[in-house]
Chain A
Amino acid sequence: MYLSNVEVGQKARVVNIEGKEAAKRLFGYGILSGTSLELKARHPLRGPLVVSVGGTQVAVGRRMAEKIEVELDE
Chain B
Amino acid sequence: MFKIVAVGNPNTGKSAVLNRLTGSRMLVSNYPGTSLEAAKVTASFGRHQAEIFDTPGIYSLFAPGLESEQILKLIEAEKPDLLVNVVDAGNLARNLVLTYELLTLEIPMLVLLNQIDSLREQGFSLDAGKLSVLLGCPVVSFSAVTGEGVLEAEQEIESFIHGRHKSSSGVGQEILLPIEFVLPENCSGKCFKCQQHREECLDRADLSRAERARRTAQTVCSRIGKRRRGHLQGLQRLVDRSLVGTVLLLGLAYLAFWALLQFISFSEGPISALLDPVAQTLQGFIQGVLPSGKIASILAQAVPEGLIIPFTIIMPAMLYVSILMALLEDSGLLPRYSVALERVGSLLGISGQGIIPLALGFGCRTPAIMATRILPNPYQRFLVVTLLSIVIPCSATLGVLASVMAAFHASLGIIMGTMLVTFLVLSLLLSRAVEREEFIYELPPLRVPALTNLLTKTRMRFSGFFTEVLPLLLVMNIGMRALIDSGALDYFRGMDALSRSLFGIPAEALVAVLITVFQRYLAPLVLLNLTMSPREATIAIAMIALSLPCLPAIVMTIREMGVKAQLKILGMGLITSFTVGAVLNLVLPSAL
Contacts and interface: CB of A to CB of B under 8 A. Distances in A.
B491 interface: no
Interface in A23-54: 23-30, 32, 40-48, 50, 54
A22 B438 contact: yes
B210 A27 contact: yes
B241 interface: yes
Nearest to B68: A28
A59 B60 contact: no
Contacts of B335: 59
Interface string B83-104: 0000000110110010000000
B436 to A, nearest CB: 10
Contacts of B94: 29-30, 54, 56
Given A46-B343, A48-B342, A56 B63 contact: no
Contacts of B64: 21, 24-25
Contact of B443 (A24, A30, A58): A58
A26 B58 CA distance: 13
B183 interface: no
Contacts of A22: 438
Chain B CB within 10 Å, residue with most, of A40, A43, A55, A61: A55
A47 B199 contact: no
B62 A56 contact: no
B440 interface: yes
B319 to A, nearest CB: 31
A40 to B, nearest CB: 6
Contacts of A27: 59-60, 63, 97, 206, 210
A6 B442 CA distance: 19
- A32, A42, A46, A64 — most chain B CB neighbours (10 Å): A32
A29 B11 CA distance: 12
A52 B501 CA distance: 62
Interface stretch (B105-113, B133-141, B242-250, B287-295): B242-250
B interface, by DSSP: helix, strand, loop or mixed? helix
B442 A44 contact: no
A46 B206 CA distance: 31
A48 B339 contact: yes
Nearest to B209: A27
A72 interface: no
A48 B353 CA distance: 13
Q: How large is the interface on B (under 10, 10 to 19, 20 to 34, 35 or more residues)?
A: 35 or more
A10 interface: no
Given A29-B440, A30-B94, A44-B242, A20 B60 contact: no
B441 interface: yes
Nearest to B441: A59
Given A27-B63, A50-B339, A58 B246 contact: no
A50 B240 contact: yes
A31 B199 CA distance: 19
Which of A23, A24, A44 has the largest count of B CB atoms less than 10 A from its CB?
A: A24
A15 interface: no
Contact of A50 (B59, B90, B199, B443): B443
B408 to A, nearest CB: 41
Nearest to B352: A48
Which of A22, A56, A59, A60 neighbours the largest number of chain B CB atoms within 10 Å of its CB? A59
Contact of B440 (A46, A47, A58): A58
Contacts of A20: 199
A24 B240 contact: no
Interface string B47-77: 0000000000011101110000000000000
A55 B199 CA distance: 29
Contacts of A42: 242
A60 B439 contact: yes
Given A43-B246, A55-B91, A59-B335, A25 B63 contact: yes
A41 B58 CA distance: 25
A28 B210 contact: no
Contact of A30 (B93, B203, B246, B338): B93
Nearest to A53: B94
Contact of B242 (A29, A30, A47): A47
B338 A59 contact: yes
A56 B12 CA distance: 12
A41 B342 CA distance: 14
B454 interface: no
The residue among A20, A25, A26, A44 with the most chain B CB atoms within 10 A of its own CB is A25
Q: Which 10 residue pairs are nearest across A and B when measured between Cβ atoms?
A: A61-B439, A28-B59, A30-B94, A57-B443, A59-B339, A28-B60, A64-B438, A28-B63, A43-B242, A55-B91
17 contacts: A25-B63, A26-B440, A27-B97, A28-B60, A28-B63, A29-B59, A29-B440, A29-B442, A43-B340, A44-B242, A44-B343, A45-B343, A47-B343, A59-B441, A61-B439, A64-B438, A64-B440
Interface of A: 20-30, 32, 40-48, 50, 54-61, 63-64
Given A41-B245, A43-B343, 18 more contacts: A22-B438, A24-B62, A28-B63, A32-B210, A40-B240, A41-B241, A44-B242, A44-B243, A46-B343, A47-B342, A48-B439, A48-B441, A55-B91, A56-B442, A56-B444, A59-B339, A61-B438, A61-B439
